[in-house]
């Protein structure tokens, strides 16, 4: 009975340690190379993700703008013509 309670407490403590991430923290604190490796990988991943995300959002936006121009809406066409005229004057 006493051993069973001890085993349950040990299992409970073990589960809490696993959930808290203390093992990963101890790896990071133990090695500067590990910190550099993790931060480098995280930075590269963020950079690639941002690049892909901006590319996709820009492509979708350009696609919808092209569709709007093809509809030849009078107000929108006049607005775009004004923008083109302003750009040409500034050159």
**pLDDT greater than 70 at residue 35:** yes
- Asked if 8 and 14 touch (Cβ cutoff 8 Å), the reply is no
Q: Mean of the per-residue pLDDT values for the chain?
A: 83
Mean per-residue pLDDT, 29-42: 84
What length is written for the chain?
91
| pTM of the shown model | 0.50
Confidence label for 28 from pLDDT (cuts 50, 70 and 90): low
The pLDDT value given to residue 3: 80
Nearest to 76 by CA among 87, 60, 63, 65: 65
2-20 and 22-30 helices cross at what angle (nearest 10)? 60
More confident residue, 46 or 81: 46
């Amino acid at each position: 009975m006493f051993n069973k309670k001890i085993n349950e407490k040990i299992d409970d403590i073990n589960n809490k340690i696993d959930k808290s991430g203390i093992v990963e923290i101890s790896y990071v604190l133990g090695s500067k190379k590990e910190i550099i490796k993790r931060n480098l990988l995280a930075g590269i991943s963020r950079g690639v993700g941002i690049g892909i995300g901006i590319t996709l959002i820009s492509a979708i936006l350009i696609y919808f703008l092209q569709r709007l121009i093809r509809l030849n809406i009078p107000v929108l066409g006049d607005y775009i013509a004004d923008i083109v005229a302003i750009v040409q004057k500034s050159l």
